[in-house]
Amino acid sequence: MAHPDDPDFHYDEWSFFGENCSEFDVVLPESVPAARVTFGDGLSGIRWGAGSESLVFLHGGAQNSHTWDTVLLALGCPSALCLDLPGHGHSARSPDGRYDPRSNAATIASVLLSELMAPVVLVGMSLGGLTANALAATHPDLFRRVVVIDVTPGVDRDKARDIHDFIAGPQSFASFGEIFDRTVLFNPTRTAASLRRGILHNAHRMDDGSWEWNYDRRSMTAGDMAPMGSLWDDIAATKMPYTLARGLDSPVVDDADVAKLREVRPDANVVEFEGAGHSIQGDRPMELAALIQRELDAR
């Protein structure tokens, strides 16, 4: 494969599944049932499997729907819809630059209300997790179970400092080597191969050879995080089984957050992942896939 800085390099979003599988000893299907889908309101995503969806995945801020590739491959490519959040991946940017959880939820609900044939398991990470809370609170009939990955409304600027500092860095880089080196610096738990393909899914080469992130950074780099205390009300309003997946190497969720969650939802299930930082799907995809399979099997 050509180096990303080579003028002959061509990005093909479907060409990396073999890497995902070889890194985690997953059997690569002869044909991976994944296709890009775009909806009328500007949302885009990846539809996996065949038939009506059993899962919906929402990624974190500054990510995109390919963050779930290894998890979906480990699950055997079930029917699932992985959406690019507004302003991320292939989805359109918001005219007002608002990508808060409730704004995201309102946009995504308009798609899911017409797409889902039966209640699904909803999986959301970080910003996608807070968005999942808002979706589950306002549209409970769409979801039979919720899995939120390494976030609660207790997150603040200090807990998310490393994430914020990474996102608040440069928008463009002179070469792929520069964007890669900075990404490695901020993601010490990830393999070089996974970070390389993650960047290729999340950035693009400009005509002058420089590289630029795909996601809209307007609301992600301005000042402190907005207060999130009211978002606990979203969790309190949920009624379906609720699971928090917590990366034990991540500062984003602490013991006080878990205690607050159990106050708001006494029946919440908390699953801890050793050796995982904030992005559990990147650090421990096989273990996360096993958790999601249990959620799918539960009735």
Divide the 299 residues of the chain into consecutive groups of 10 and give the mean pLDDT of each group. 89 97 96 95 94 96 97 98 96 87 95 96 98 98 98 94 89 96 91 94 96 82 58 97 98 98 98 96 97 95
Contact call for residues 224 and 122 (beta carbons, < 8 A): no
Q: Among all chains, which residue has been given the structure tokens 């995504």? A: 108
163: left (phi over 0), alpha (psi -120 to 50) or beta: alpha
Contact call for residues 137 and 234 (beta carbons, < 8 A): yes
pLDDT of residue 168: 85
Nearest to 284 by CA among 244, 243, 242, 249: 249
CA distance 80 to 49: 7
DSSP assignment of 26-83 equals PPPPSS--EEEEE-TTS-EEEEESSSS-SEEEE--TT--GGGGHHHHHHTTS-SEEEE
CATH topology of domain 17-297: Rossmann fold (3.40.50)
pLDDT of residue 226: 57
pLDDT of residue 164: 87
Nearest to 196 by CA among 7, 14, 20: 20
Residues with catalytic annotation? 126, 150, 278
Complete edge-to-edge strand list for the sheet that includes strand 211-213? 172-173, 211-213, 203-205
Q: Please give the backbone phi and psi of residue 87, each rounded to the nearest 5 degrees, phi first.
A: 80, 10
pLDDT of residue 229: 67
* CA separation, residue 79 to residues 53, 106, 142, 218, 284 (Å): 5, 23, 15, 33, 21
pLDDT of residue 2: 84
CA distance 138 to 135: 5
Give the domain ranges of the chain: 17-297
Tokens of 228: 């999130």
pLDDT of residue 222: 46
* CA separation, residue 96 to residues 168, 218, 225 (Å): 19, 9, 17
DSSP assignment of 105-128 equals HHHHHHHHHHH-SS-EEEEEETHH
